[in-house]
Amino acid sequence: MNISKDQMKLFPEDSKIVNKLPFFYGWVIVFVSGIILFCSAPGQTYVNSVFLEPMLNELDWSRTTYSATYTMGSLTAAVMMIIVGRVLDKFGYRLILSILCILMGLSTLWMSNVDSIYKLFIAFALLRTIGQGSFQLVSTNLVSTWFIKRRGFATGISSLGQGASMFVFPLLAHLLIQNFGWRSSWQILGIIVLGILLPLAIFFVKDSPEKVGLLPDGVQKNETDLNEEITNEINFTFGEAIVTKTFWFLVFSVIATPLIITGLHFHHVSILATKGLGSGLAAFTMSLFGPTALISNFFCGYLADKIPNRFLMACGQISLILTMLWLVTISETWQAVIYVSMASLSMSLVHTSYTVIWANYYGRKHLGSIRGFSSSATVGFSALGALPFGIIYDRTQSYDQALYYLILIPIFCCICSLMATRPSKRLVIEK
């Protein structure tokens, strides 16, 4: 991919600044991408679950009503991700991220004034679209756009922001609610996101290395081998990508992780209670998801540059299967700690490799549209995560039965992962 004079003229000031830095600007993008994931917290299940009890106590709603509204809002977000992906391709990451930051602030303000079900639905739809969906998409796509050779490692580093968010924000939300109430807490979370992320989006996000006179990975023009790889990068349009078999294998290869992990998070306290562990110990083990994710994300990012990503995705599904079987057997705290570690490893293996493989297979040019579609499946199955666990438990009075039934899903995903071989654009064009 050659850098044209027109590209360099798009942001002349940016080009001068980033070219004078003693290091590759892509690492700034990695840092910002990590902060984006960190600030996605208001739209994530691990924060919303903290608000469940205080909101239900004041508003006098049932858990079923709250959960159903959360699911409907999340499904709406899944549909919206298709639009978000296309908008990213058209207008770029800097502008869209800036708008998303403002919308996140307005969404938390809206949530703080919720007093009816329809307002709650709108709040969940906005928060899930922005936090759980759009922030994730912007973060991962930015890293994939700035890196090729070290895409996996860079993705792993940026994913540390997600682990940090899981560790910090549930505790922060709890403390805020205790001191200021749940309504003011939503407002404070919005201010935190705006204050941290909006300046970074405006001043530090650059849409691509080519637009500021650079090449991916910090490649220099005299590095022949790497330049050849960049020049020969194959970019699929959304229409070309969607007709390949690999596209659909990839979409279905990941559905187990958001569905099952979300379900396990949602029912975490209840599951461990059936194993004889108290709520305090359950809360303690829940807090370990953040630190264990930090470690596993870094490790999996390194592997993603060394091992074919479809094999890592398959390993993630196998790890998830073992996690579910281990959860059936636990009865003590140390076993619960191991369960959390295994679940974090499963998430990291799948998330990191799944993020990297899309850009590796389909290129960077139309990544927003392509990943936007795949993200809709991820968000959609995440929305359904709590439901099957609840239904099966109500019928069988056992979470173990739910785990046995649902284990078929990661087996299916493992097969899809292995079938997701690199697509040929030539074959697409010939058809």
Q: Per-residue pLDDT tens for 333-373?
A: 889 899 999 998 998 899 889 989 999 999 888 989 998 98
Max Cα–Cα distance, the chain, nearest Å = 67
Per-residue confidence (pLDDT) for residue 132, from 0 to 100:
86
What is the rounded CA–CA span in Å between residue 332 and residue 222? 59
What are the domain boundaries of the chain? 26-208+234-430
Positive or negative torsion for Cα 88, 91, 94, 98: negative
Give the mean model confidence (pLDDT) for residues 145-157: 90
Find out whether 404 and 414 touch, Cβ atoms under 8 Å. no
Tokens describing residue 247: 């596209």
Q: How confident is the model at residue 431 (pLDDT cuts 50, 70, 90)?
A: very low
Question: What percentage of the chain has pLDDT greater than the value 70?
Answer: 91
CA distances for 186 relative to 105, 132, 179, 215, angstroms: 9, 16, 13, 41
Query: How many helices, marked H, and strands, marked E, lie in the chain?
Result: 24, 0
Per-residue confidence (pLDDT) for residue 266, from 0 to 100:
77
Q: 279: helix, coil or strand?
A: helix
Indicate whether 7 pLDDT > 60: no
Amino acid identity at 336: A
pTM of the predicted structure, to 2 decimals: 0.84
- DSSP per residue, 14-67: HHHHHHHSSS-THHHHHHHHHHHHHTTGGGSHHHHHHHHHHHHHHHT--HHHHH
Indicate whether 249 pLDDT > 90: yes
CB atoms within 10 A of CB 58: 13
Query: Which residue from 263, 378, 357 is spatially nearest to 313, judged by alpha carbons?
Result: 357
What is the rounded CA–CA span in Å between residue 409 and residue 142? 30
Query: Which of 93-102, 202-211, 274-283, 363-372 is the most confident on average?
Result: 93-102
Q: How confident is the model at residue 83 (pLDDT cuts 50, 70, 90)?
A: very high
Question: What percentage of the chain has pLDDT greater than the value 90?
Answer: 48
What is the rounded CA–CA span in Å between residue 92 and residue 10? 12
What is the rounded CA–CA span in Å between residue 138 and residue 98? 11
What is the rounded CA–CA span in Å between residue 86 and residue 227? 28
Per-residue confidence (pLDDT) for residue 240, from 0 to 100:
92
Indicate whether 381 pLDDT > 60: yes
Domain 26-208+234-430 - what CATH class? mainly alpha
Give, to the nearest 10 degrees, the angle between helix 63-91 and helix 117-127. Answer: 40
Mean pLDDT, the chain, integer: 86
Burial 336-345 (b: 16+ CB within 10 A, else e): bbbbbbbbbb
Per-residue confidence (pLDDT) for residue 222, from 0 to 100:
60
Indicate whether 3 pLDDT > 90: no
